[in-house]
Amino acid sequence: MPPRVASPPASAATPTAPVDRARGPWVKAGVMAWYGLLVLIIAAIFGSMDRQILVLLGEPMRQSLQMSDTSFGLLQGAGITLFAGAAAVPLGWLADRFGRRAILAVCVLIWSMATAACGFAQDFSTLFVAAAGLGLGEAGLAPIVFGLIPDIMPEHRRALANGIYSLAGALGGGLGMAASGALVHNMDAIRPFLPSSLHGFEVWRLAFLAVAMPGPVVALLILLIRMHPGRASVQVRGAGSGGRQSQHEMSRYLRTHRITLVSIFVAIGLASLGLAATGIWLPIIAARSFGATPAQIGEHIGAAFVFGILAGAAVGAVSVRLLHARLREATPMRVLSLGTFGAALAFLPLLHLRSVNELYLICCLQGVSLTAGTVLIPTVMQDITPVAVRSRAIALGSVVIVALSSLSPVLVGVLSDALTSTPQALPAAVTIVGTCSLLLAAALFYAAEKPFVRTVKTLHPEAEL
């Protein structure tokens, strides 16, 4: 895994020092720390499955509800992503103020109910409202989880935990795609065992109901997470001082480090925009251009992403080792820049697709390139945000990220509809949007190297980088 970029602020280290020296209480609680990380990974996987089922079943759902590509793009963009951006800041504030575990559990319940509501949608309007609820619930995932990992893990395990979470979440997304495909394939076989009121439901509707069912269990598991012995009290004190002093600290932090924050969050947003062009539309291309079924798409795209993610993790680890001696603190930005540049190049073969297997290969190549850098993103976000305002700061960044990524499905849909007279209209639209956004992201990550180093050194002067 990548080496630790920085230690937490001195204010966070002070109250935990006696516990770290004694180590006795934390050794006993170590199992619970890894339990907490496992639960966060499970929550991320189920959140990913809820989003993926909407993509995997996009073509049969689009046909059933008679949606155009533009309408489907609006559903994915404005319906999910834009609402996620609007909800991220208040959820981040609530998490810092009232406790990250409780707010995350509520978020899981919201997105599970919204997923079930998608299965009952009768037209585009009701599906749009349900998708908005899905985005609202998932809005808290990144800012809360990235703030919660340092609260449950000892500092010397933070970078390792971040890497495991990112890698497992990405792998879970690929496996979730495959599992969703298998679920759709076998839905008719289990239909007789369902309540009689559901027997007449289309397969895509039953699939939404099925993936929503684990939500309450996941929410309960989140509430059972235990905090690090020294950091639970820190969060309580931080929550109790969430008034004018906390707001002043947040404002001063944003003014001082605005260049770093804007550069990094806009770059991540542009990379997400390009990634969404792949994740949302490649399953549609596989179904429309090559007649692949949802089960086939889920199985093969899931396998392609899993292989790409594993290879990308290895490439990322090697890249960090090779670059760290020369770039030191700037290494994460350079790895992210190279990874997004490679993902941009992987879009170009879409213009010359001859078989669905070539499409799956593109998924694999993009998984390699993007994973090489994305495993560093949680640690990067934690290192550029003070612990007392971490969820709020990451939530503000999430607004920028989702505002940009929400454009992806809409841009691709509009371009595709505008190019209907052109052969391979949808692959061309995906290529244009994905390549341009990822190239811009690569350039911005490269430009962010110096501001990132200044921010890390300012927030963590005691760190040995």
User: How does pLDDT run across 179-226, given as a tens digit for each residue?
Assistant: 767 777 777 777 777 777 777 788 888 888 888 888 999 999 999 998
- DSSP state letter for 351: G
Q: In whole angstroms, what is the distance from residue 145 CA to residue 149 CA?
A: 6
- The domain that contains 285 carries what CATH number? 1.20.1250.20
381 part of a folded domain: yes
Q: In whole angstroms, what is the distance from residue 322 CA to residue 408 CA?
A: 34
CB atoms within 10 A of CB 454: 15
Which residues span the domain enclosing 228?
28-238+248-459
Q: In whole angstroms, what is the distance from residue 131 CA to residue 312 CA?
A: 31
Find, among 134, 138, 131, 137, the residue nearest to 65 by Cα.
131
Entry pTM: 0.67
Total domain count, the chain: 1
Q: In whole angstroms, what is the distance from residue 406 CA to residue 23 CA?
A: 45
Q: What ranges in 390-424 are assigned the alpha helix state H? A: 390-405, 407-418
7 part of a folded domain: no
Q: Which amino acid is at 445?
A: F
4 part of a folded domain: no
Q: In whole angstroms, what is the distance from residue 114 CA to residue 133 CA?
A: 5
The residue length of the chain stands at 465
Q: In whole angstroms, what is the distance from residue 298 CA to residue 313 CA?
A: 22
Q: In whole angstroms, what is the distance from residue 375 CA to residue 314 CA?
A: 11
443 part of a folded domain: yes
Dihedral angle, C-alpha 430, 434, 435, 436, nearest 10 ° = 110
What percent helix, strand, coil does the chain show, rounded to 5? Answer: 85, 0, 15
11 part of a folded domain: no
22 part of a folded domain: no
> At CA 27, angle to CA 21 and CA 28, rounded to 5?
130
**Which has the minimum average pLDDT: 171-175, 276-280, 306-310, 403-407?**
171-175
Find, among 136, 130, 128, 132, the residue nearest to 118 by Cα.
130
Place of tokens 């499905």: 409
341 part of a folded domain: yes
19 part of a folded domain: no
pLDDT digits (tens, 9 = 90+) for 134-181: 888 887 787 888 888 888 888 778 878 887 887 777 776 666 666 767
Whether the CB-CB separation of 344 and 434 falls below 8 Å is answered with yes
Q: In whole angstroms, what is the distance from residue 210 CA to residue 188 CA?
A: 13
**Which has the minimum average pLDDT: 71-80, 271-280, 403-412?**
71-80
**Which has the minimum average pLDDT: 308-317, 342-351, 355-364, 436-445?**
308-317
Residues contacting 462, CB < 8 A, separation 6+: 7, 10, 13
